[in-house]
A and B are shown apart, each in its own frame.
Chain A
């Protein structure tokens, strides 16, 4: 069975987001010989469109005139739906970022699609498509059957591999935008302030996250966590004890009322492992905990544990990682 698949790309710092490239494997698998096409919006979207083409998308539609200086999926959704219709696509795929999740929400209505977010696996059988996704903060997974002519999925970041570059790059073609609804014309994005993650990646994008908790005892010790993160090229996170105390801004918080992350590696430093923290990180692939209390609940969800004083362990770990990785 085959179907035509439209992949929607997202720009990040002038290039294409990794999370957009991660959908390509699934796109080709679902498309069979139905074919994959790409979509990118925004005046500065050309490099992103070109990367899609380089990574094996034969034809990328670039909506140059669409204002996409921001992540407003609602502005872009009408054009995505129109392009999907014009090429007869049955499936739209996007990365499960803030933009991608919003986008499929709009496509559910605008394009009458069966939709799912945070998807970690998609299978096709005679009954159609079935999507698996973690729920309850990773404490369970559900499978849903997607019913209808159209399906739009936001795939969970870092759950799928990035494909290699293709031998022959695809083409980029411009496409005319469709006007968004009236309300969007007066809504204005006044600017973006980059998240203060130091020089590292953002929590949502990162493949490694190092988080610090109250065990660090004072804000002036938090640099221990930041140095460990820097040695790994990781994003920095924190427990709510840390953000509540104002050691770091709320944007660092991981957990039920913060950000949910699912990196390849999560290192919890001086974090006890309250359920509200656990639900935000338990679906990480590998979890490491460093805590002086052997009975801390964080060790129940960790894969590797070190019981000890973080003030001794963390600097040693940072030094060891710098040594083996030459960072």
Chain B
């Protein structure tokens, strides 16, 4: 089984957000890009499937500008991925659909059975790439997925999808795309020798396919909300008084219920 994981480098969670001088996007100055959140989950899921399936391989792809893409791909190799490909993008790489089209044409050119994405990227939170990528490849997509397993005997992938109605159970043949929302409490971390070795690993490189003429989005504004001034602290002598005061504020000032 050829497992593909799609990895987007995103600013680390602790990044202090600042507006770029042109006012349209995050100021990248001094930002450290990491493999974050759901993509970390996607790698962990890929490696767990690989360990449970004879002959499986994991191939990581990342679309975007260097050097951040190369850094996350090397991190993925250090964690145990077998191959990595950088899908080279120009400056205008911040449209998730451009990413989906470029990744789709790169992944579609090679062997693949299962493509794993994160549910959504930690920065733009679009949650679009998995579905769009699946449609580029012409295969089904299962987003918001947990508990992904491969039943080799029946040649079926089984998984759960967390929706507003509850937990859906699915089974599907391959190939397909899965958008993961699983969180592991203890995803593996890379060992030092593997990190050192990953520095010398070969990273494949393909140019992004030309973007479509229509259907793009361009960032034209980036704003930070005014800082919350901190909570209005409720003074009270008894718990009852605290409760009464809070409920009055919620009804009369915040108007969250009548």
Contact = CB atoms under 8 A, between A and B. Distances in A.
Interface of A: 12-13, 17, 19, 70-74, 77, 97-99, 101-106, 108-110, 112-118, 130-132, 134-150, 181, 183-184, 186-195, 202, 204-205, 208, 232, 240, 244, 250-251, 253, 256-260, 264-265, 275-276, 279, 285-289, 294, 299-308, 312-313, 315-317, 319-321, 324-325
B140 A181 contact: yes
**Chain A residues touching B, majority SS:** mixed
A319 B138 contact: no
Contacts of B251: 324
Nearest to B254: A286
B176 interface: yes
Contact of A140 (B26, B144, B162, B165): B26
Contact of B14 (A134, A275, A285): A275
B36 to A, nearest CB: 8
Nearest to B216: A147
A188 B13 contact: no
Interface stretch (B52-60, B67-75, B80-88, B223-231): B223-231
Contacts of A191: 168-169
Given A74-B140, A115-B215, A304-B249, A187 B135 contact: no
B247 A317 contact: yes
Contact of A205 (B132, B164, B225): B164
B44 to A, nearest CB: 12
19 contacts: A114-B97, A130-B220, A139-B225, A145-B220, A147-B216, A148-B214, A150-B214, A150-B215, A184-B140, A187-B171, A187-B172, A188-B170, A202-B164, A253-B183, A257-B37, A265-B254, A265-B257, A300-B228, A305-B234
Contact of A324 (B41, B176, B247): B247
B170 A187 contact: yes
State which size class the interface on B falls in: 35 or more
Nearest to B214: A148
Contacts of A251: 162, 167
Interface of B: 11, 13-14, 17, 25-26, 37-38, 41, 97, 100-101, 122-132, 134-136, 138-144, 146, 161-173, 175-176, 183, 185, 212-225, 228, 230-234, 236, 238-240, 242-244, 246-247, 249-251, 254, 256-257
Given A74-B140, A187-B176, 15 more contacts: A71-B161, A105-B130, A105-B135, A112-B214, A112-B215, A117-B125, A141-B223, A189-B170, A194-B166, A256-B37, A265-B254, A300-B228, A302-B228, A305-B231, A317-B246
Given A116-B217, A181-B140, A139 B224 contact: yes
Nearest to B125: A135
Given A143-B221, A147-B217, A303-B228, A308 B239 contact: yes
Given A74-B135, A74-B141, A98-B161, A302 B231 contact: yes
A306 B242 contact: yes
A193 B175 CA distance: 26
A108 B132 CA distance: 7
B215 A307 contact: no
Nearest to A263: B256
Contacts of A183: 138-140, 172-173, 175-176
A195 B167 contact: yes
A190 B170 contact: yes
Q: Which of A132, A137, A294 has the most CB of B within 10 A?
A: A137
B123 A135 contact: yes
Contacts of A186: 172-173
A110 B131 CA distance: 11
Contacts of B166: 192-195, 202
Given A140-B26, A288-B250, A106 B132 contact: yes
B20 to A, nearest CB: 11
B128 A97 contact: no
A48 to B, nearest CB: 13
Given A144-B220, A305-B231, A105 B246 contact: no
Contact of A143 (B219, B225, B250): B219
B247 A108 contact: no
